Copies of this chain bind each other. A is one copy, B any other.
């Protein structure tokens, strides 16, 4: 049983990989802003209709080890708080962001991850709504990055981000986490855009609509979004406010063909 093993000297930390949609231009602003704004938005984009990508905040390390490098937000686990609470707390303390979705990702604990000390890091991943990213701390030591273009981070954080990206892309196919990127009501075009940005490929609007509708994942609110230059789209809301479960294991398949690649 090794009951005599002495774990003193092992410290427990918590880090979080946060994903958001790049704020870009909201549909209202997009059209309200006129051609100038629209063109500016278009000119920055490559793949998606509004040129948005994923975004994630990183914090600059202010002390050794890894001083000066960018790293995932995190901190030490308090003896009294749960792991998830620690993730939420350290996330807010360092970046000002409150996640709409928070799930444990993996625990990294190799000896030698961090010099001198033995650190076991429980890593969470989070999704935040674009609105909430505006609460983010305005600090030169917090900066938002495209997660596909982050390299040279402190510790093993490059690996962790890659792993989290894979999990996000995979999980879109059998869960309803896409809603965590959106406001309480949304159009199917907005939902489809989330999938297109995350999966990095275009989806057929007609087939996407049928897949989502037949999955029962969303409900028609009966309202329309007005102010668009074209036919006003219906507004939908998620059936389930969130899908929690221990480790987020609740599976509500949306559409088989929305799996990655």
**Residues of A near any B CB (own CB < 8 A):** 1-3, 5-13, 62-63, 75-83, 90, 93-94, 104, 106-107, 109-111, 118, 120, 122, 159, 163, 166-167, 170, 246-247, 249, 251, 256
The answer for the CA separation of A13 and B5 in the assembled complex, in Å, is: 10
- CB pair A107–B104 under 8 Å, yes or no, is yes
Determine the distance from Cα of A87 to Cα of B79 in the docked complex, in whole angstroms.
24
Nearest first, the 4 closest Cβ-Cβ pairs linking A and B are A5-B76, A2-B75, A83-B109, A107-B107
Residues of the B chain whose Cβ atoms lie less than 8 Å from the Cβ of A163 = 246-247, 249
Q: What are 20 A-B pairs at a CB distance below 8 A?
A: A1-B93, A2-B75, A5-B75, A5-B77, A5-B78, A7-B13, A7-B79, A10-B11, A10-B12, A12-B109, A77-B109, A79-B118, A82-B109, A83-B109, A83-B110, A104-B106, A109-B122, A120-B122, A163-B247, A167-B249
Of the candidates A8, A77, A159, A163, the one having the most CB atoms from chain B within 10 angstroms of its own CB is: A77
List of B residues within 8 angstroms of A77 by Cβ: 5, 7, 10, 109, 120
Kindly list chain B residues whose C-beta atoms are within 8 Å of the C-beta of A80.
111
A-B contacts besides A2-B75, A163-B246, 7 pairs, CB < 8 Å: A1-B93, A2-B90, A2-B93, A7-B11, A79-B118, A83-B107, A120-B120
Q: Which residues of B contact A8 (CB under 8 A)?
A: 8
- Give the docked Cα–Cα distance between A62 and B78 (Å): 30
Q: Which of B12, B94, B166, B247 contacts A120 (CB 8 A)?
A: B12
| Inter-subunit contact A120/B83 (CB<8 Å) | yes
Q: Are B122 and A79 in contact (CB under 8 A)?
A: no
Q: How far is the CB of A37 from chain B (nearest CB, A)?
A: 38
Determine the chain B residues whose CB is within 8 A of the CB of A251 once the complex forms: 170
In the complex with contacts A10-B12, A120-B122, A247-B106, A111-B81 CB distance below 8 A: yes
| Interchain CA distance A220-B159 in the complex, whole Å | 36
Chain B: CB-nearest residue to A89: B2
Q: What separation, in Å, do the CA atoms of A149 and B79 have in the docked complex?
A: 34
Give bound CA distance, A247 to B256, whole Å.
24
With both beta carbons as reference points, the residue of chain B lying nearest to A8 in the complex is identified as B8
Q: Note all chain B residues with C-beta closer than 8 A to A3.
A: 63, 75-76
Residues of B within 8 A of A12 (CB): 7, 10, 12, 109, 120
Which residues of chain B come closer than 8 Å to A10, judged between CB atoms?
Answer: 11-12, 77, 79
